[in-house]
Amino acid sequence: MHTTTTSPEALRAAMVERIRKAGHAQRSEVERVLLDTPRHEFVPDADLAVTYDPWQAVVTHRFDDGRSLSCASAPWLVAAMLDQLDVQPGNRILEIGAGTGYNASLLAQLTGRADLVTTIDIDPDVTAKASQALAATGYGDVHVITGDGGHGYPDHAPYDRMIATVSPWDIPAPWWQQLAPGARLVAPLRWRGQGRSVSFTYTDGRLVSDSLHLCGFVYLRGETEGELSGPITADDKVKLHWDRDQAVDLNTLGGVLDQPRVTAWSGITIAPNEGHDGFWLRLTVTDQRVCRISAHPDAIPEVVNPIGGYWRPALVDGGSLVYLTARRLETGDDVHWELGAIGHGPAATELTEHLCDEARAWSPERDHYEPRLVIYPADIPDSELGRPVFEKTHSRFVFTYDCISE
């Protein structure tokens, strides 16, 4: 139901202006297609104000338990990923995750021919509605395929551009095989609990990144799960999430939060509007033990008291656990948050000091860093890789986080 009296065109123009001010839709062609495309026709059941809110995703399908199955991504993220993809006229494109069809319509405009765009989704209800919306808006020549996106779509390969709007833990082997030399791939990848939209160029048999954006997406269905998770409290209200190549044993961690709480403070502060994701990103390079902790609101702060936000880093070492926390500091009108660490278990004191030391090492370079992810096929030998290596099923991730001069 559309309750606002402002026209869709005016709402769309305001949306694009706000996205531009936030640093996205920097490519003029991306700005143009966002302005020209009636997003509300792809999410007809959503309120217009929500549809054209730059920061708001619109959930269109849910699992029986209420979890999001498919959605229209927030417009700022759509713009950011299209900037990353850098579509050129005549590019052949594969989209994994059909969503509402909105993104496929943007891709069709960017490449100049709808029949050069293929979008695939495992859910037939999703593809049926995407097909209807694309046909109704003039993009019926887009190829909408019902199938496992992890397999790509070889019939139209090779692709000059490939974009995933669902989050894979790995780069599936078929994707490697369906990329043209020099192709660009944009995918919201996961490693060590993080989720990042990463843009790559496919060159010399490897994928080399040139930008990363913090984000969260519905996971790629049908993928053999590489991120594991499990509760560390009897009531399941506190959970850990880790990669399968990490040494985490929930049996060893049993009752860890019942042990005394050890707290340490780093002396490092962040502004109220400054995230801690850069610290976590660096930590994935410097400490292979980093993973993610999540907690039900009922468990905060009595059981655990992690830093706010969805992304909450933790370290596990045997039967010991430490996680990032923060406390509010006020000096007159000046408000900051000091980073700290809370630990439990035999090595709690050592681990809390270690996490604070990591914050101190990160802070001087926080505005002067260059993260880069290079992905190799799984059969690449150790002698050709740097460190650290994140072991996946079909590939090996090598991540670096280097301080650069101004």
Q: What CA–CA distance (Å, rounded) separates 69 from 55?
A: 19
Strands (E), 108-250: 117-121, 143-146, 159-164, 179-191, 194-203, 206-214, 227-231, 238-243
Interstrand relation of 93-96 and 117-121 (parallel, antiparallel or unpaired): parallel
125 - beta bridge partners? Answer: none
Q: Please, what's the b/e burial string for 262-276 (b: 16 or more CB within 10 A of its CB; e: otherwise)?
A: bebbbebbbeeeeeb
CA 349 – CA 343 distance, rounded (Å):
7
Could you say which of 28, 68, 70, 73 is catalytic? Answer: 70
Query: By 3-state DSSP, what share of the chain in percent is helix, strand and coil, each rounded to 5?
Result: 30, 35, 35
Identify the residue whose tokens are 């999410």. 43
The 3-state DSSP class for residue 285 equals helix
405 is catalytic: no
Strands (E) across 282-364 are located at 290-295, 313-317, 320-331, 334-344
Sign of CA dihedral 9, 10, 12, 17: positive
Give one DSSP letter per residue of 13-80, joined into a string.
HHHHHHHHHTT---SHHHHHHHHHS-GGGTSTTS-HHHHT-TT--EEEEE-TTS-EEEEEPPHHHHHH
User: Which residues are the active-site residues?
Assistant: 70
